[in-house]
Amino acid sequence: MKKKVLSILSLSFVLWMNAQEKDSLGQKKIEEVVITGQYMQQSINKSIYKVEVIDAQQIKNMAVTNVAEVLNQSLNIQITPDTNSGNSTANILGLGGQYVKILIDNIPVVGDTGLGSNIDLTKLSLTNIERIEIVKGSMGVEYGNGALAGVINIITKKSSSKKLSIRASLQEETVRDSYNLRKKGQGRHIQNLNVGYNFNDHWFTNISFNHNQFMGYEGDKKGYKYFGQDNLRGYDWNPKDQYEANALIRYSKNKTSFYYKASYLNETFNYYNPKVDRVPLNDGSGGVVYKSLDRNYNTERWIHQFNIQTHLGQIRYMGDFSYQKQDRKFYDYNYDIPNRKKDPNYNEQPYYKTDVIYSRGMFSNFLDNKTFDFQLGYELDHTDGYAALIAGEFDGNNISRKIFTYGTFLSAEWNISDKFSLRPGTRFSVSNRFNNQFNYSLSARYKTSENSNLRWVFGTANRYPTYDELFTYFVNVNHDIQGNPDLKPETGYSAGLFWDQGFGLGNGWKFNYNLEALYVDLNDKIENVMIVRPSTYKYLNLDKYRSLLFGVNANIVKDQFSLGIRTSLNGISVSKQEMDVRTPQDFQYNFQAGANAGYKIAGSNTALNLYYKYTGPARLYVIENESFRLARTDGFHMMDFIVSQPFWKDRLELSVGIKNIFDVTTINSTNSTASGHNAATDLLNLYYGRSYFARLMYQF
């Protein structure tokens, strides 16, 4: 099961640049298309929303292995890792994973605690990805609960131009300065295989497999073999091993197409306890053994999806039907460290469990009119969730809850002229647990020229409370921390203005740029706050959150050379209240910049790619010890450099490179506060440092 399989992906190098600009630069003969927020798949230039696209070639050039690594290159998206759980979620515009909706092929993906939000992006591999679409801002009308900060839509491949296509890859990486292929060795070991087959003009099938083994990073710890009693045993980044398998079958003829897709994930996450116990053997010889109580988490995820697109007379119909299940279990076991023996007497128990029945349907083209059309849709979500007592503090009980949500949405698209389009929309959602929710949107696109567009987008969204916010109960002599079953959903809105333009400069030079301004306003933000001095805390709808983003991006291309520059300024205002203390409401700004450069050497076809991202210092008001202070998180630089060389008529490709050249690991942060029974920490774990990799790819 641990054997390495051979090689994935296609051809050699395509010049790298921000994908959302490619059409206006004329780099592709076929127009790039998007589906997120659209009535049907259409050209990115005609989209009424500002959609950022990261395509398969860009993903290949970055030599990344999961969605978290891809998004780390994007401005104003920060991947937040939890080294204790092994999960990594997306933070957009300062709002965490519970405010970002994660979709696969336009439907939300299941996670530990629900559907679509707080999704571990390291569990989403890139084996069969066609592109990733990103829309920043509130998308509550189209995607409902949790789409407050934005939507990330992962689009998988469902066709091939070849009768038989085989792609495989083998990638080996160091973890900082450690690498070893042995069992329980060091480094990262990634293998994947993808096979596609066209039976005829109508039927296509695809299967793919992926294995991603991360052997952990010790950092300041001394590994699982260490048995000193100084709390230095274990890892700063714990080991994780993932296996994923996907299968798809698709039919397409005339105006009807449908596909069924199944995906299975198995993940093992190992936690090695830093606490070591010295246990006397009482053998009369003074013998002792050193033991630790370690823990394994085992996660299984199934995703089944059936999609159909057809016409009912002139009415266009697109429907999705999905059953998804994620089951995270754990077991504790005693480990004899010097003798490397695991006690076989352990009992695996549930930790988190989520079962989801989901359906989404959209009807459009009622009038068969290119000037005016409207879309009627529904979304149905039945989520059966479970959280074990050990996953939180839940009044001595495991938590089970069922949430049924039904939403109906309606929008109209009015092409007032060849240049100006308008789309209003509304959604009404009912739930068996929370009050009815109403969301609205209004978007407009003005085509100022053949290669430029001006977009204005307004939308609202809501977020339902989580397990911890509803059910936490941790009460003893020193603490009183309680959830709140009466919490109401958070609500918010965003408004954005986007301009893009592209043109030629002569002598083969092509240039484009875009300007963006986005405002996000969130009300009734849920926080854990003190309600009675000195240590009584409760989750309440109290805070207000505002985010203001300004961005400027530019790209220039000529022949085998490309250069992209990205900058942004993000201001965040958080109005926090605790007892009689309230923080100021002024904005604190964070500057970010990024660059990517690509060059392809003629003759040898050697591709060189450089990626850079700077995240400036961030400041935020926090409440601590019954007063407020301005906390700071340090800035940092990230840079990757990759060289790729094709061989054997482009069927083989060898890539080597350096990731995280500036060796970023942890940064200083005073954002964390001591609340309830949680101690504050002044360090934020981001990465495990500089790494080197080599990847061999094959395509037939």
Read off the pLDDT of each residue in 286-311 and give the average, rounded to a whole number.
94
Q: Tell whether the model's pLDDT for residue 400 goes beyond 90.
A: no
Q: What is the model's pLDDT at position 1?
A: 36
Read off the pLDDT of each residue in 47-71 and give the average, rounded to a whole number.
93
Domain range summary for the chain, segments of one domain joined by +:
19-699
Q: What is the model's pLDDT at position 427?
A: 97
Read off the pLDDT of each residue in 488-498 and give the average, rounded to a whole number.
95
Q: Tell whether the model's pLDDT for residue 279 goes beyond 50.
A: yes
Residues 6+ apart with CB under 8 A from 314: 365, 366, 368
Q: What is the model's pLDDT at position 30?
A: 52
The answer to whether 673 and 636 are in contact (CB under 8 A) is no
Coil/strand/helix, residue 254 = coil
- DSSP alpha helices (H): ranges in 304-448? none
Question: Rounded to whole angstroms, how far apart are CA atoms 448 and 450?
Answer: 7
Q: Tell whether the model's pLDDT for residue 370 goes beyond 90.
A: no
Q: How far apart are the first and last CA of the chain?
A: 25
Question: Rounded to whole angstroms, how far apart are CA atoms 90 and 233?
Answer: 30
Q: Tell whether the model's pLDDT for residue 528 goes beyond 90.
A: no
Q: Tell whether the model's pLDDT for residue 533 goes beyond 80.
A: no
- DSSP alpha helices (H): ranges in 111-194? 140-143
Confidence band of 18 (pLDDT split at 50, 70, 90): very low
pLDDT per residue as tens digits for the range 323-346 = 999 999 999 999 999 999 999 888
Question: Rounded to whole angstroms, how far apart are CA atoms 100 and 112?
Answer: 15
Among 291, 129, 306, smallest CA distance to 226 is for 291
- Model pTM? 0.90
Question: Rounded to whole angstroms, how far apart are CA atoms 217 and 237?
Answer: 5
Q: What is the model's pLDDT at position 575?
A: 84
The answer to whether 156 and 133 are in contact (CB under 8 A) is no
Span of 455-459, 554-558, 576-580, 684-688 with lowest mean pLDDT? 576-580
Q: What is the model's pLDDT at position 467?
A: 75
DSSP state of 371: S
Q: What is the model's pLDDT at position 536?
A: 77
Read off the pLDDT of each residue in 180-196 and give the average, rounded to a whole number.
88
Domain 19-699 has CATH 3.30.2000.10: no
The share of the chain scoring above pLDDT 90, in percent, equals: 66
Q: Tell whether the model's pLDDT for residue 363 goes beyond 50.
A: yes
pLDDT per residue as tens digits for the range 625-682 = 778 888 899 999 999 999 999 999 889 999 999 999 999 999 998 876 554 445 456 8
Q: Tell whether the model's pLDDT for residue 441 goes beyond 80.
A: yes
Confidence band of 6 (pLDDT split at 50, 70, 90): very low
Q: What is the model's pLDDT at position 423?
A: 96
DSSP state of 690: -
Question: Rounded to whole angstroms, how far apart are CA atoms 366 and 535?
Answer: 59
Higher pLDDT pick, 575 / 510 = 510
Q: What is the model's pLDDT at position 486?
A: 87
Three state DSSP letters for 481-509 = EECCCCCCCEEEEEEEEEEEEEEEEECCE
The answer to whether 440 and 417 are in contact (CB under 8 A) is no
pLDDT per residue as tens digits for the range 190-246 = 999 999 999 999 999 999 999 999 999 999 999 999 999 999 999 999 999 999 999
Give the number of other Cβ atoms within 10 Å of residue 201's Cβ.
8
3-class SS shares of the chain: helix, strand, coil, % to 5? 5, 60, 35
Question: Rounded to whole angstroms, how far apart are CA atoms 226 and 616?
Answer: 38
- Summary mean pLDDT of the chain: 88
Q: Tell whether the model's pLDDT for residue 2 goes beyond 60.
A: no
**Phi, psi (degrees; rounded to nearest 5) at 351:** -115, -65
Question: 621: burial class by Cβ within 10 Å (0-12, 13-18, 19+)?
Answer: buried
How many helices, marked H, and strands, marked E, lie in the chain?
5, 41
Which range has the top average pLDDT, 398-402, 431-435, 681-685? 431-435
Q: What is the model's pLDDT at position 680?
A: 52
Higher pLDDT pick, 112 / 6 = 112
